[in-house]
Amino acid sequence: MIKIIAPATSANVGAGFDALGLALAFHNSVSMELSNTISITTTDGTSVPKGPSNLIYKTAKYVFDQMGEKLPGLNIIQENNIPIARGLGSSSACIVAGILGADALLGHPLTKRQMLTMATAIEGHPDNVAPAMLGGFVASAYDEGQVYSVKKDISDSLAFAAFVPDFQTFTEKSRSSLPSTITRRDAVYNLARAAVATAAFCDGDYEMLGVAAKDKLHQQYRLPLIPGGEKIFELAQELSAYCVYLSGSGPTIMAVVHRDNAFFFDKATRLLAEDEEMSHFRLHRFEADNTGAILVH
């Protein structure tokens, strides 16, 4: 039986809608082996589909089909630490684990770009699957059926403060809140800030992230769907985070801070408990994952 460990991810990083993402040191693990039947279990009690609709199984079968091979069945054991439908890349972790596992079972015929392209075909966009596979901060473009990703390791001077609520938001519903057209002014606004965000992570100029994470394409439409979300943004800004943004489609809200900023975490935790509107959020401290998904054995 082989084992794959895949990290949580945080997509968009503000202005980089469907293009930017980063990996967090918080992981799911998947063990799998070929079988004549489909057997899917979890070690943590999470309810997941136990048949062919299971995302890890579907992904592995997709890879086998693309390679012209028949998948008789799989024995899958999942450990799901990443919360589902919270904007932390739980589905991308499953997809990436399924692809790496299938590639291993087939004897490693796939290149990294082929695996990224398959992952994007399943997920629909590369902002989560690319950092889940590569680790670090990743900028990605999908062009003529291929995914092109550039990775930068994230400095260990940063910590990520994830405000995770006790309710879910599914990407499909969140996307339905977005306008079907945008103005050129708003497009340029985001292009400029996505470029600055990329440069800030590459150069280590994190003071620029406060400007770079601003957005006009999705956050203003999604934030009203998250009770207490606007107050979380205000809280993170008042406590001098480098930046605060909606993680993926939400409902998790992510702040980037210096790793030694204990005041931020202590003060924010106390304020969450004191404010009824924000009390359904829990604050989690994450480090970056610069390795990405790995095959353990």
C-alpha span between 220 and 151 (Å, rounded): 28
Cis peptide before 227 (omega within 30 of 0): no
pLDDT value at residue 171: 62
Phi (first) and psi of residue 170, to 5 degrees: -90, 140
CB atoms within 10 A of CB 91: 21
Residue 174: which CATH number?
3.30.70.890
The per-residue pLDDT of the chain, averaged, comes to 94
Give the number of other Cβ atoms within 10 Å of residue 199's Cβ.
12
Pairwise CA distance, residues 78 & 138, whole Å: 26
User: Are residues 169 and 149 part of one domain?
Assistant: no
Can you say how many angstroms the Cα of residue 204 is from the centroid of all Cα atoms in its chain? 21
Q: Are residues 187 and 96 in the same domain?
A: no
The answer, yes or no, to whether residue 220 has pLDDT greater than 70, is yes
CATH number, domain of 127, equals 3.30.230.10
Q: Do 136 and 54 sit in the same domain of this protein?
A: yes
Q: Where are the alpha helices (DSSP H) in 69-176?
A: 90-105, 112-123, 126-134, 171-175
**What average pLDDT score do residues 192-204 get?**
96
12 and 142 belong to one structural domain: yes
- Same domain for 64 and 169: no
Same domain membership, residue 175 and residue 148:
no
Read off the pLDDT of residues 8-19 as tens digits, 9 standing for 90 and up.
999 999 999 999
Same domain, 17 and 147: yes
Distance CA 166, CA 22 (A): 23
Residues in the chain: 297
d(CA 90, CA 56): 11
Give me the pLDDT at residue 168, please. 77
User: Do 148 and 162 belong to one domain?
Assistant: no
Instruction: Take residue 272 and report the two structure tokens written for it.
Output: 């969450």
**Which pLDDT score, from 0 to 100, does residue 145 have?**
85
Average pLDDT over residues 274-289: 94
- Predicted pLDDT of residue 174: 66
Residue-wise pLDDT tens digits, 101-148: 999 999 999 999 999 999 999 999 999 999 999 999 999 998 888 899
Q: How does pLDDT run across 156-182, given as a tens digit for each residue? A: 999 999 999 988 776 666 677 888 899
pTM of full prediction above 0.75 = yes
Instruction: Write out the residue range of the structural domain in which residue 123 sits.
Output: 2-153+290-295
More confident residue, 242 or 176: 242
Q: What is the reported pLDDT for 142?
A: 87
- Residue 45 confidence (pLDDT): 83
Q: What is the model's pLDDT at position 231?
A: 96
- Based on the fold, state whether residues 148 and 204 are members of the same structural domain: no
Q: Per mean pLDDT, which range of 37-41, 71-75, 87-91, 144-148 is the poorest?
A: 144-148
Residue of 23, 141, 124 whose CA lies nearest to 82:
23
Q: CA of 82: how far to CAs of 24, 123, 178, 227, in Å?
A: 10, 17, 26, 21
**pLDDT score recorded for residue 177:** 80
Helix (H, G, I), strand (E, B) or coil at 240: coil
Q: Do residues 142 and 165 share a domain?
A: no
Question: Is residue 269's pLDDT more than 90?
Answer: yes
295 and 100 Cβ atoms separated by less than 8 Å: yes
Same domain, residue pair 41 and 109: yes
Domain count within the chain: 2
pLDDT on residue 77: 97
* pLDDT of residue 240 exceeding 80: yes
pLDDT value at position 189?
97
- Residue 42 host element (H or E): strand 39-42
Helix, coil or strand: residue 241: coil
What per-residue confidence (pLDDT) applies to 244? 98
**156 vs 266: CA distance, rounded Å:** 20
Same domain for 162 and 258: yes
